[in-house]
Amino acid sequence: MNRVTHDTVRAVQWTGDHLRLLDQRRLPGESVYLDIPDAAAAASAIRDMVVRGAPAIGITAAYGVAMAARAAPADTRDWLKVLEPAMERLAAARPTAVNLFWALGRMERVIEAGGMDLPAALEAEARRIHEEDLAANRRMGELGAALMGPAGAVLTHCNTGSLATGGYGTALGVIRSAFAAGHIDKVYADETRPWLQGARLTAWELVQDGIPVDLVCEGAAASLMRRGCVGWVVVGADRIAANGDTANKIGTYPLAVLARHHGVRFMVVAPTSTIDMETPDGAGIPIEERDASEVLSLGGQPVAAEGAGAWNPAFDVTPAELIDAIVTEKGVVERPDRAKMTALMK
């Protein structure tokens, strides 16, 4: 099978003067693209979950800086001072995804380098970030599928596909490549409460690309593994610490515990831009806590007893010792630890 057949979704699109983002809050019922004209709108789109997934957030932020530069006065001299408010607003949109800060750092270096036409240089850098992400995802897909080998079926969590990246996907990129190679014949996708990214987004992507998918409640994962239904758990990451501890969508950590107990291998797929060597371990990763209403309601309708509270962390941390392999565009790290992560990043 041709892998392009299983790669049809593009959620982040640059038109030449503004962004178009597929509004992921409205999937799978509607496929609606929003025009994002400036950095403030880009920051709001990140914060409000119009766009989500660490790589896609970074790409969106980079284009946000480019749009801010386009809107600046033509006679601007101190570009960093002029663009700093927009960059700070973008940086504050979501705290856990390190790709956001990585992308803004790249844009800042372009600003510091100066040049005759800085807006054009910033747009070119944002395009590079976008294109490099897609290329990295293709490479990770190849590496992960080769490591996986024949697996029958896999289980994934949250959404790590084209909707979460510049295209193809991280964990879903591996799944796309493995399906095209005949290594897997089915995907099980967790619903992923409270935003239901698995139900609304991952299932939608896989259906669009003709890959068989069965949806499961998170609570069914243990029984699925006990029955021997899956060969691998394949997930993405929003930040990876220097020792290999990994922050991903809430619910990932218990999957790793279950996988280890049942002898199912556990793969994390993420570009090296997600690796934060300045954070020693998972304890140092900031975990975003979102509004309780996301847990207490569903689609705007209350589902909990009136007066109940809720704890709503958006991410959890999986210790490195529970991870069998981290797949990046630079290579695969099996049984990750600090020394192996350092060697990879060198």
pLDDT > 70 in the chain, percent: 99
pTM summary value: 0.87
pLDDT tens digits, 170-211: 999 999 999 999 999 999 999 999 989 999 999 999 998 999
DSSP letters, 123-141, are HHHHHHHHHHHHHHHHHHH
pLDDT confidence tier of residue 54, bands split at 50, 70 and 90: confident
pLDDT of 88 higher than 70: yes
Residue 61's pLDDT is 97
66 within 8 A of 122, measured Cβ to Cβ: yes
**Long-range CB pairs of 342-345, under 8 A, 24+ apart, other chains included:** 342/242, 342/277, 344/272, 344/275, 345/272, 345/275, 345/277
pLDDT tens digits, 126-179: 999 999 999 999 999 999 999 999 999 999 999 999 999 999 999 999 999 999
Structural domains present in the chain: 3-133 (1.20.120.420), 139-345 (3.40.50.10470)
**Rounded Cα distance, 175 and 156, in Å:** 9
Residue 4's pLDDT is 45
Residue 2's pLDDT is 41
Residue 74's pLDDT is 83
7 is catalytic: no
Region of residue 279 (left: phi > 0; alpha: psi -120 to 50; beta: else): beta
Among candidates 288, 37, 15, which has minimal Cα distance to 130?
A: 15
**Rounded Cα distance, 280 and 269, in Å:** 19
pLDDT confidence tier of residue 5, bands split at 50, 70 and 90: low
What are the residues facing 127 on neighbouring strands? none
Residue 99's pLDDT is 86
pLDDT confidence tier of residue 320, bands split at 50, 70 and 90: very high
Query: In whole numbers, what is the pLDDT of the chain averaged over residues?
Result: 94
Catalytic residue among 133, 190, 238, 245: 238
The tokens describing 2, both together, are 């041709």
pLDDT tens digits, 225-283: 999 999 999 999 999 999 999 999 999 999 999 999 999 999 999 999 899 999 999 99
Peptide bond connecting 271 to the previous residue in cis, omega within 30 degrees of 0: no
pLDDT > 90 in the chain, percent: 88
pLDDT of 13 higher than 80: yes
**Rounded Cα distance, 177 and 4, in Å:** 10
